[in-house]
Structure formats: structure tokens, C-alpha cells
Structure 1
Amino acid sequence: SNTEFYALNISNPQGSIAILGSVEINEDVTDIYVKDGYAYVATDDGSASQTGNEIRRINLSTYMVEDTGNLSDSAEAFAVWFQGSHIYAGTDSTSSEIQVLQSGGESGWDVPRIVETVDLPGSNDMNDIIISGDYAFAGRDTTAGQPEFIVFNISDPFNVTVAGSLEVGSDVNDLYMMGNYVYIATSDNNAEFQIINVTNKTAPTLTGIYNTSRTKDGLSVTGSGSVAYLGTEQDSGQTNNELFLINVSTLSSPTLYSSLEVGSNVIDLSNGSENLFIGTASPNQEVRTVDIANPATPSIVYTYNVTGSRIVNGILYDSSSKELHVTMTASGNNPNYVIFDVSNEVNFIELGGVVTTGDYNMHTLFVGFAGRTFVIAVTNDTGAEFKVIDTTVVESPFVRSSLDIGGDGMGVATTGSYMFVVGTADSQELIVITWGAPEVPEYARFGIYTSEEFSSDSDTTAWNTITWEQSGTGVIWFQTRTASSTGGTALATWMGPNGPGTYYSSTGSTIAISGDATGTRFMQFAAYLYGSGSATPILDSVTLDYSM
């Protein structure tokens, strides 16, 4: 059958051993580790350099491979261990013998957990966050005497620090990064669009501003090439536009390409493959497609009216799937998270949606984690503001899990397996969330340490006592064996105080010599360590006392 993985029922080891299930791997299975209903399998395809899927995760309820992992250096896997949310692989690589993989298993996000929070001075709300490399950039409401633009060092997600900041003097409502510059949408009536130089993360500086000549706040911002797109609050009148296309070819002095009348708050923006998608507060035209091929003459080429009177607060285009993910305010039994097929950007097809409690807030959507299986969103749903939405089947997405973050979530961004959320909680304006059970210490319950051979340099040696020092928690027992020549101990009988099969359990025990020992010049001991799994004994020293 060419089946390499089997699960066997050994409840009656002296009777029949039945096969519970099996999996065809098509490669040699070199090691297995089982935990929480899954088997983590190391494989070797027998070639000089394996090219992928060296680690597999098997669901032991269905006996199906649900996940695979690729090692670097074309390495083959020969050992595997899983703990918390990481897989540890022992390999044949000459440069990275031990490799650590992040388990992408769907079950991980069933238990999102907070691993770090940051409390900023003041009590004003955070509005949005973006990430680039080891740094996160966030904006907050105006705070007297405090900066509204914050740079966080997130190189260690468990120890996030403030790297730098800038006093803007107004609410920072949205951010978009382009190279070493961050575009921000603000409430400053004289500078709704601003450009911040973040080349020096510890000392960001203002590079340029654009004044829309209106008195409405900047709400949303994005960019592409030499054009920045700014969405603002609604400004009454057919000539008071809400979408601005700004020329940022000269960062120090951005100028207007053009503007467009939308007739509503432009709350969020997302770049499509050819057009710009905008989310608005218009109850009949919540989502629109804007033709931006010529930045001097943008035009609305498509509108979509979602069911119910809504405000769209989050909109994000996924270029890999050509889907548009939209979050909005709640409206009865109508979905407030919806997925659209926008392969034709002027003819949306609604694929699926889900009704969740509470409103989704501005800029609160992240799409594509774990191969577009999950969507991460934040809401004002008290006690469950952070939500993980499973979109494996786009026609029927569902909330896989949620988490209480102590206040409304206002923005979310990601790096690796960590989600960075900002919101309204005064004591934790920034929250770092990851998934999977905490990686509590876990040890093997049993292990054997076999010493090297020790020579007394005398054939008439009398071995007297074995003493040892130990720490930690657990039990350590010993056995010894002797021989007349080097290498001879390998054939000798292991002895305890009362012969073979017994063990020295008390330090200072008298050493017993086997009656069939070839001599006593060479000595070897074995230590047997027993722990609980959550704690381990530690062997600190061993002393073998002898006389000649």
C-alpha cells in the first residue's frame, strides 16, 4: 500500500494490535511527535536534497495531512518536536541543524492570547497602526503635551518599546507607508495630509503637508507611486470634494492633482489592481470603484449598495485572490463582514458574509494570514473586540475565535505570527496578540545519561562508593559496570547495590562489582533521570571513590 504512517491501538498489547488509521506520505517517516490530537511527522525522501514538505501535521481524528512545512537549505528532517505554537526540527543541514517553524495549523487561532501591552502617557484613543520591519507606526487622537505619531520597536514582540515620536498637534486618523516615509491623514484643517520622514526611527520629522482648503478632517490615506490618495469627511455641496489625489513627486511640497466629489465621508481606501476602492458612509453607495488611471481626471465607475443602511469602516483588497473584504456597522441580521469577488472591478459579486456582534471600526481589517485562511478584524463588541474570521470557504465564513482586549479595537497590523492592535483601552493602547497555547516548559519524563569510561590506571582497583549532587525536581538513580580494558565496559553487566536490575538510589552507596566482570581498571556509570514533564531533575556532579 506504500503507507508510511500508522496509528495503532495498543490498549491490549498481549492481544491483537489493530490499525486505527494510516496516511500515505510517499516519503520515509523518520520521526513522530504526537500532541493534542495531531501528529507532527519528520520525513526524508531519500534524495541528496529534499525540496519541500519535510514536516507534516496530521489530524489524528481524520488521518489527513492538514499542514506541511518546508525546511531551509534543502535539508531533510530526522527529528521533530512540537511545543506551544512552534515546531522544532532536527535536520541534516550543515549550517542549520536545528530549525524552528511556526505551526500554521488552523487550530492555533482557536486560542488567541495577549503576550504584550504598552501603556502610553495620556488617555486619548489610538486610531491606526502599520508595520515595516522591526518597527510599528501608530497614530492617536490629540493629546495635550504628548505626541500623536508614535514609533514602536517591535523586534521583540514580548518586549515592545517606544523608539520615537512626533508631536503633530492634531488627530492622526490613518497611516500609509511608502519607503522611509509615512503618509498620515489628520484633523488639522490646515494640513489634512502630512508626510513624515521615518528614516531615523528615534527622531521622525515632518517633511511636507497638503492643505485641502476645507475644514473637514482627513480620515483615510493610501498611495501608489507618485500619487497619494486622501479621503476626508463629507463637505456639503457638489463642488466640495472628499477624495483628493495628491502629487508627492516632491515630498517636501506635495501638490494637488485633482479631487472628486463623493458626497459622503470617505472612511477607508484600498488600492485595487487597476482602480481605487473606497468605503463610505453613504447608505446607498457604501462601496465604490474609482478609476484613477489618469490622476488628473478620476471618476467613480461603479457603486455597490450593501443590504441595510450601513457605514463601511474597513475595506481591503486581496490581490492574490482578487477579493475585496469589507467591514461595516451592524444592521440586524445582515452580515457586517462581507467578501466580494472583484476580479471584475466594476461588477462586484458577493461571495459570503457573516453577522457578528458590534460594529467594525475604522481601518480594522487584515487579510491573508496563514495563506488567506483567516481574516483578523477588531470591533467595539465588548468582551470580544478582537475577532478571527475563518474564510477557508469564502461562501460561508465564520468567527473562529475572539478575544477581550479591554476596549474598542481601532487598528490592526501583523508581522510573522503576531498581531499588533491599537484601540481605546487607556492602560494598553498597544496590544500584541499571538496564537497557540503558551509555551510552558516541558521536559521528557525519562532520560538516561551514560558516562564515558574512566580509568584508574590500576588493575587492582577497588571501587568504593558512588556519590552525587542533584538539583531541580525529580529522581535520579544509577548503575555502574567495570572492565579490565578500554571498550570492555560495553560488554559488561550493569550493576546496582544488589546485582543486575537494581539501582543506586541513595548518594554514598557502596559500589557492587559484577561476578563476571573482566576487571576493575575501567569504570562507567549510567544515570537514570525521572521527571514529571513540567519539572526535571538536574545532575550536577558525580563522584566515584576508589582505592588501589
Structure 2
Amino acid sequence: MRCEFLFVMQNMNRGQSLVEVILVVALFAVIAVSVITVLLSSIQMTKQGVEYVAAAGYIKEGIEAVRSIRDRDWAEVTNGTHGLTTTSGYYEFLGTANTIDTVYTRTITIEDVYRMGSLNGDIAPSGVLDANTKKVTINVTWDTLEDKTQNIDSVFYVMNWGILSWTQTTSTEFDAGRENSTDITASGNGEVTLRSNTSDWSGLLSHYQINLDGSGDRIAMQYVPEEDILYVLSLGTSGYEFVALDVSDVSESTPTVLRGMEIADVSDDFVVHNGYAYIANNNDSGEVKVINTTTMTQVNTIDLSGTEDATGVAAYGNKLVVVRGIASTQELFVYNISTPSSMITQLGVTELGVTTTDVGMDSAYAYVGTTHDTKELVVVRLSDFTQVNTLDLIGLDDVTRLIRSGTNLYIGRVNGTAYDAARVSVASPEGALSVAQSIEVGATVNDLSVDPHEESLMLATTHDTKEAIVVNISTFVESASFDVTTTDDAKSVAVYGAEIYLGMTTDAADLSILRTQTTSWNTAQLIGFADKPGTHDGSHIEVVENFTYVTTTNGANEFFIYDTSTPSTPVLLGSLEMSASAMDLQVVGDYAYIATDNKNTELVVIDIRTKTSPVVIGSYDAPGSADGHGILVSGNYAYLGTTSSKNPELYILDISIPSTPTLVGSYNYSADINHFALSGNYLFAATANNSQELAVFNIATPSAPTLVGGYDTLGNADAVTITFSGTLVALGHVSSPNEELILLNVTTPSVPIFLSGTEIGGNVNSIFLDGTSIVYLATNVTNQEFQRWDISTPTSPVRTTTFDLDDEGMGVFYNGTYVFLATRHNSMELQILGPSTVLEYAPEGTFTSQAFDSGSSSTTWDTIEWTKSGIGDIVFRMRTASSETNLVSAKWVGFDGTANTTYSISGQNIVIDPSATGTQWVQWKAYLSGNRITTPILEDVSIVY
């Protein structure tokens, strides 16, 4: 039994050993495989790690290469996918990728960067383009042994750290620029806005009168807004017949002639188009001259068949239309002017059978003005050069000029039995044509111009007193006019922004430039006031330079001197007690002369040299007990008027020694003499004489004045105030059933001629005449104590302005800017009024920056950036040149390097004119446009380079 057991045990031990062996072998196999696997994996991972390290190195090299290119030339950091090369000894972009060691492929992708809201905003998917920042993505790919593609990339941003900028933002910086219908304001430390301008052009003023070369009539003109240049064509003269005037600073300075040329032939019309002028003339072998307007050289001619003179030209796109006098063949010619300096080809001709005077055109039609009695307007279709329509204007008057604007034609005519200007709709050029609106102006219309918003039509006429007429297009009635002060005719007209340009026949003022006032007396406003001590009423007022002299009725003091150099805050300097009411006042030199109601000192003379301490130095006691009423001083004589008495009412005093007035002569008039006006040897007096409210004295012999004439106004009301200018006397009455404002012509002083009498609604206490066009009144009319009247047509005065002084106006004085009034107001005895600021703006205008020198001939201009507020649009053009001299004639271009575009988005990349002489110098021009009620506001501009 024991043996079996041992056997069994031995066998069992052998089996266990075998199992152990098997287990050991299996375990070894597993361990071996694991070790081998680990070893193999380690080898593969080591290889992949090496690849990643290499790829990362190529990424790093790409980053450094992009930065190197950026530092060398930012302009090379362009959008797209790039490879690299160093064949030039430095990094450059080449191709779209690099293959490195036949394993790795590297691509560098560059993209634009946008920012939220502004260039200072956060980076965003869209928004404001930041032209000086680029997004760069560098990607490296390679294939593994298992044919798997691996890649790593890096994203970063590069900025143009080498950039500089030229910024204009302050008033001082903007003031160095040039303004055409724009203004520089102090708001925000400096802003550019459109210039104030009345929308109806009321209040036209002569801004400049310019004497151009020679003496020929200025027969045609054209303003080119892209250039800010006014081109003017003249009839034959001794100098230039064709000139270009720089009007970019017309708001601030007289335009200057940039360049010009002699034409040598008699011209009739011209058009400037895409840098060339086409001049219609009488040269038989070249009826149209082609002029390069930059160099002012003739570069081509167009010879029309026959010998008839060219009378009109018009250009649109690549087409030029020329018309001429009636010929045996054609009168209208169409040319291709895509290459004006070399090849001009004829496209077609049309026989009209009429003598033409002018032509306008659009893309499809030509519109021809003629002298024909039944077809003053002819329409020609340009696609096949066929006459497709005519229009017979009322009457036999010839068309002089026409202009197309939008879907309208505006036509000027010779003055005759019918209208002189008209509007014809050409929305359907081949349909029924008719005159939509017309106006009779009583003169020949030589030229017309329409403002860009088609709100106003400007006429150049032969009218003696209205050489310039403005027509409101919506109503087609006259809204404004201007008299150039000569009897010469206006021959041509152009308009832009706040300026009207008028070409004349006169030699002394060949070019008149008109503008409206920036303020308007249509609405007056209180500028300042003063409450003098006491409650006695103001009575009279005089203003001399920065000082205002006010008198009052009898009270504590009756004479006051104010410093009104700042009209909004008058400052009392000194005062004086006279113990009498002041009845009239005149200040001459160092002395004030006052007529008083003191029966012992009807005239008081005050030394005003020390403004803080005026002092009475002399007086005159007129005989009897009459009151002094009127005083006028001229030279060494004072003329004193008094109330009626048994003694004289007119006294002539020698005041060569102001402290001792001495009687020279007198006149017993037997009625109150209240006020005086003087013209040479004639003294005009406002009186209380019921049959002669105006008395005229000859004072040639001061010791023996004589009454030589007068005028009896309607009714028995007293004349209390009078003024004189030119040949016009304005007389003011106290209230009556009749007129209180009387205008008289005193060309012959002894025989005044009545012009008009106007009811103003109350007493005219004081009157001031501004030339012969405006009169200012101080009255007692409730709520209208101040009144302003337009008397430019003296037979029919028109009240333009009233203002409520809150009490009676007693004295009035106008110093050319403000109206000063003495009133009966208890706390505002001195009131200063001014015109309201015009709250309308020019519809468009330009602002041209000063020239800027970058200091380098290799400057690269990157972007133009600006800040705008307000309502309206602002766009820009730029020009560059090698020198400041060359900059003057450089071309203004937009974002594509041509004059056909503008920069309209802040931050746009700058593209210079390919023909520019260089880039060292730069200048920008802003074009502002608004709706007349509001204005865009330019706050700052920066040029990045």
C-alpha cells in the first residue's frame, strides 16, 4: 500500500514539475513579447517625438520668418497662403507651401483682422478692418510609417510696429488747411463742419471780386468738385483765355489762378471731363481744341467738316457731342473720347437743319438748344444718331444755354415776349415734351447752373440790378438776386456749396463770387443788455468803436459810458449828472454833444477822453426858454435845434474850441426842430411844422442859413427823427392815421421827391439808415419795438424783422454787426440785438488738409482713418508727390488709385495714383455733404504710414 502511494506521489511530483515548466515558459513568452513590444513602442515613440520636435522647429522658423518679413516691409505681409524662400539672403514669401526634407510640408496663411466698433476694439469675426494687424496660421504636416498624416499648427498675430501716423484733430491743425463751403469750429478742440448758408440764398453778399487776365467777357465756367477747381473761358483777350482757379480755400481767401493758356481763337463753350477740356471755337481746321487741364497744353483737335463754328460741347462717359451753326450737312457730331490725347474717333452725325446754340447730354440722348422759331429744343438719340423729338417754346426768343440735371432740362432764353428761363422734364425724351415751369426775369439769361441737390437754379442775366438771380426750383419763383453794382452783364454762372461764381463783362470784376450771410436778421436775438443805475428812461444812443454812449431822461445821472467790446456783457465805465433830460446825442472825437431840456444849457459838451470820469467842459445857452431838441456836429460846427419860440429854432455854433461854443448864425423857423441830417451844404431837419415836416436849409454860409425847400407829409403828425444816405432821406413820424416811415429822394435837395410812406403801427422814435437798403427803427409798437425794414426797393419797403424790447425803444444805432438800443425798460435800458445764426448749412463742401512731408522718398502709405459724427456723409480722396511743388498738380484719387472713387470707410488701405511723381508728400481732401438742416462733423483724420 505504501509503495503505491509513493508511486502515485512521484508521478504527481513529475506532473507538477511539467506544469511549472510550462507555466515558466508561458510566462517568459509573455514577458518577452511585452519587452519586445515595449522596445518597439519605445523606438516608434522616439521616432515620433523626433518628428514633432522637427515640426515644431519648422513652426518656430515660420514665425520668425513672418516677423522678419514684417520688420523688413509690411507691404509684403499680404493675405493668402505662402511658402518661404531665402534665396535673396533673407526671408521672402514664395509659392503657397514649402516641402522640407521630403517629409514635412509647411504652409503660412495670412488673413485680415477685424475689430469690434473701432480700431481700438477687440478682435472680432467682422467689424472695422484693422489694416495694421494680420492673423497668421502656420501649419506643418508629415506622414508616419503607418501612413498616417500628422500635423501641428500655430496661430498668432503680427502688427505693423514700424507704422507712423500723421493726425489732424485740433483747431490749430485744421486751420492750416483749406475750406470751400466748410467751417472750422472750436467744439471738441477742433472740428470741420459745413458752412452756414440760407437754403433760399437770401442775403447774398459779394464775397470776392477778381480781375482776371485781359478784358474779354467771361463767357463760360465750370466747377469740378473732384479737383476743387473753377475753370473759366473768356473771349479773346491779351492774356489767358482759359484759366484754372484754385477755389479750395474760397471760404477764407481769394481764389488764385493755378494755370492757364491762350486759345488764340474765338471760343463759345467748353466742358471739362476726366482731366481734359474740350473747347468749342471758330477755328476752321480745329473747331474743338482738346486741352490737358493739368499741364494746360493742347493735346489734340477735332476738325468738323465744313467751316461753321462749333457752338456747344457736352461730355458723358466716353462720348463727346459737338454742335455747330447751321450747315449744308450735319450740325451734330458724336465722338469717342476714351483716348483724348491720341485717337478721337467719330461715332456718328446728325442733320438738324437749325443753328444751334448749346447742347447737353446724358448716356442715351443729346439735347440741343437752337435759334429756330418752332423747335427751340431738339432731342437726338445717341444709339443711332436720330432726331427723335423737338419742342416749340412759346414766343420767338432763342435758346441761349441749357443744362441737364437729373431728368430735367433747364433752359435760358433771350429776353422777349415770353419767359426767360424754363424747366422741361426729359424723363421720357421721346415722349411728349412740355414746359413744366417757367419764369420771366425781364432780362436775357446768358447762362444757368443748378446746385447738386437740384433745389436752386442760378441765372446769369443782362439785368442792370439783378445780374445774378436765384430761382427756387420747387416753386420756380425768384428767391434771391444780386446787383454787381455795375451795368455790365453776367455772362456765365456756376455754383458749389455756399458759393455762386459769376462771370462778367466788366474788366474790373471779371469774376464775382457771391455767398450768403452766416447770420440772418430775419430773426433777431438779444445779445446783451445793461441795467443802468436808477429807473429813469433811456433816450438816445451812440456807438463809437468799443464804447457805447447812452443818455436818459432827468434823474440821478443822465449820461453813461459802457464798454461793449464784448456785446454780451456791457460794462459800465462812467456816468455824469447833467440835471436835465437828454434830448439828442452825438459823439465826435473826444467829445459828446448833448441837446438838453435845461433852459440855460440847451447844448452841453462833455469831455469823454477818460471813460471812467466824463466831465462837462462847455455849454451853450440859446436865447429864451426853448428846450434843446436836436444836435448834429460836422467839422467845426454844431447845429442845434430847439422847440418853437419867439427866438430862432436853428442855431449854428462854432465848436472849434469845444469848451466855448460860439454862435455863428441862426434861423427863425417858427416850429420845433427835432432832429438833423446833413449832406454837403444842405441840412435836413425833422420838424413839427404841420405843412413842412421836412425842412431843407442851405448852410453854405454858416452865418446866414437859408430855408431852400421842404416836404409836407400826410397829416399833422410831427417828424421826430431823420437820417440820410446817398440820395435817400428817411423820415420818422410819431403815430398818425397815415404813414410813420417816409422815404424821399433828395437828388435835388431843395426839391425832395416822395418815394413811399409806410404805416409801422406806432411812433418812430429813432431811425438808422444802413446804406440805401436797410433801415432800423426804435418804436413804441407793442411787442415790435425794434423793427428792421428792407428798403432796397424804396418805393415798396418790406419789414424783415421785429423784436420785443418789453418797453418803448427810444434810440437806435447799428454798427455794422449789432443793433444798440436805448429803451424805457426799467432794468434793460441798454439792449444789444444781433442776427440769429443761420441754422441751415451748405448742401456740400470740401476741406483740404495742409501738405505733409513724411521725410522719406520711399514712404508707403497704409491707411486713412477718421472719426465722424453728426448727420451726413464724409468721403475722402488723397494725392501724393515727390515734392510740395509737384503736389499742387497731383491728381486726387480714391481707394482704387483713380479719381472715380473715394475712401468712404475709415481704415481703408491707401492706393496711390500710379502716375504720382512720388510718395514723400501727401495731402487729403474731405468731401462733406448734408441735408441743409444738419451737418456731418469731421473730428479727426489720421494717415498711417
TM superposition score category, shorter chain reference: 0.5 to 0.7
Does the CA-based 8 Å contact 2:449-2:457 persist in structure 1?
no
1:107-506 maps to which residues of 2 (within 5 A)?
A: 111-114=522-525, 116-122=527-533, 123-144=535-556, 146=557, 148-154=559-565, 158-159=567-568, 161-162=570-571, 164-169=573-578, 170-201=580-611, 203-212=613-622, 214-235=624-645, 238=646, 240-302=647-709, 304-318=711-725, 320-321=726-727, 323-332=728-737, 334-361=738-765, 364-369=766-771, 372-435=772-835, 438=838, 444=844, 470=867, 472-473=869-870, 494=895
Report the Cα distance in structure 2 between the residues aligned to 1:221 and 1:411, rounded to whole angstroms. 14
Which residue number corresponds to residue 77 of structure 2? none
TM-superposed CA distance for 1:304, in Å, is 4.1
Gap change, CA 1:491 and 1:478, over 3 Å in 2: closer
User: Which deviations, in whole Å up to 9, do the C-alpha atoms of 1:432-459 show, x marking residues without a partner?
Assistant: 4455752667785898999989999999
Report the Cα distance in structure 2 between the residues aligned to 1:380 and 1:62, rounded to whole angstroms. 36
Gap change, CA 1:36 and 1:283, over 3 Å in 2: farther
Q: Higher helix share goes to which structure?
A: 2
TM-superposed CA distance for 1:537, in Å, is 4.3
TM-superposed CA distance for 1:143, in Å, is 4.2
Gap change, CA 1:153 and 1:253, over 3 Å in 2: same
Gap change, CA 1:211 and 1:357, over 3 Å in 2: same
Report the Cα distance in structure 2 between the residues aligned to 1:5 and 1:129, rounded to whole angstroms. 53
Report the Cα distance in structure 2 between the residues aligned to 1:269 and 1:453, rounded to whole angstroms. 63
- Which segments of 5 or more consecutive residues in structure 2 lack a partner in the other structure? 1-356, 359-398, 409-425, 486-491, 502-511, 879-886
Report the Cα distance in structure 2 between the residues aligned to 1:82 and 1:202, rounded to whole angstroms. 48
Gap change, CA 1:344 and 1:441, over 3 Å in 2: closer
Report the Cα distance in structure 1 between the residues aligned to 2:892 and 2:574, rounded to whole angstroms. 70
Report the Cα distance in structure 2 between the residues aligned to 1:406 and 1:5, rounded to whole angstroms. 54
User: Which deviations, in whole Å up to 9, do the C-alpha atoms of 1:391-427 show, x marking residues without a partner?
Assistant: 3443444434433333322222223354333322344
- The code of the aligned residue for 2:768 comes to F
TM-superposed CA distance for 1:313, in Å, is 1.2
Which residue number corresponds to residue 45 of structure 1? none
Kindly tell me the number of residue pairs found equivalent between the two proteins. Answer: 487
Report the Cα distance in structure 1 between the residues aligned to 2:770 and 2:798, rounded to whole angstroms. 15
User: Which deviations, in whole Å up to 9, do the C-alpha atoms of 1:175-222 show, x marking residues without a partner?
Assistant: 224343331112334322122334455554433211235444322101
SS of 1:367's equivalent in the other structure is strand
TM-superposed CA distance for 1:269, in Å, is 1.8
Report the Cα distance in structure 1 between the residues aligned to 2:688 and 2:833, rounded to whole angstroms. 30
TM-score when normalising by structure 2 = 0.42
Does the CA-based 8 Å contact 2:528-2:570 persist in structure 1?
no
- The code of the aligned residue for 1:404 comes to D
Which residue number corresponds to residue 96 of structure 1? none
SS of 1:407's equivalent in the other structure is coil
Report the Cα distance in structure 1 between the residues aligned to 2:560 and 2:876, rounded to whole angstroms. 63
In the alignment, does 2:935 pair up with 1:534?
yes
Question: What fraction of aligned residue pairs are identical, expressed as a percent?
Answer: 21
Does the CA-based 8 Å contact 1:151-1:202 persist in structure 2?
no
Gap change, CA 1:541 and 1:32, over 3 Å in 2: same
SS of 1:317's equivalent in the other structure is strand
TM-superposed CA distance for 1:134, in Å, is 4.4
Does the CA-based 8 Å contact 1:471-1:540 persist in structure 2?
no
SS of 2:806's equivalent in the other structure is coil
In the alignment, does 2:463 pair up with 1:58?
no
Which residue number corresponds to residue 406 of structure 2? 10
Does the CA-based 8 Å contact 2:676-2:683 persist in structure 1?
yes
User: Which deviations, in whole Å up to 9, do the C-alpha atoms of 1:469-491 show, x marking residues without a partner?
Assistant: 736447889999xxxxxx9xx99
Does the CA-based 8 Å contact 1:164-1:201 persist in structure 2?
yes
Does the CA-based 8 Å contact 2:524-2:802 persist in structure 1?
no
| Aligned-residue CA RMSD (Å) | 5.6
User: Which deviations, in whole Å up to 9, do the C-alpha atoms of 1:27-47 show, x marking residues without a partner?
Assistant: x99997889747599xxxxxx
Gap change, CA 1:443 and 1:149, over 3 Å in 2: same
Does the CA-based 8 Å contact 1:422-1:431 persist in structure 2?
yes
Does the CA-based 8 Å contact 2:558-2:581 persist in structure 1?
no
- Which segments of 5 or more consecutive residues in structure 1 lack a partner in the other structure? 42-52, 71-76, 90-98, 481-486, 496-500
SS of 1:196's equivalent in the other structure is strand
- The code of the aligned residue for 2:650 comes to L
1:59-74 maps to which residues of 2 (within 5 A)?
A: 59-60=470-471, 61=476, 66-67=481-482
Gap change, CA 1:290 and 1:470, over 3 Å in 2: closer
User: Which deviations, in whole Å up to 9, do the C-alpha atoms of 1:161-186 show, x marking residues without a partner?
Assistant: 34743313333221224343331112
Gap change, CA 1:381 and 1:223, over 3 Å in 2: same
TM-superposed CA distance for 1:251, in Å, is 1.4
Report the Cα distance in structure 1 between the residues aligned to 2:795 and 2:892, rounded to whole angstroms. 67
Does the CA-based 8 Å contact 1:118-1:428 persist in structure 2?
yes
Gap change, CA 1:292 and 1:531, over 3 Å in 2: closer
Report the Cα distance in structure 2 between the residues aligned to 1:284 and 1:541, rounded to whole angstroms. 75
TM-superposed CA distance for 1:133, in Å, is 4.0
Gap change, CA 1:196 and 1:11, over 3 Å in 2: farther
Report the Cα distance in structure 1 between the residues aligned to 2:591 and 2:609, rounded to whole angstroms. 7
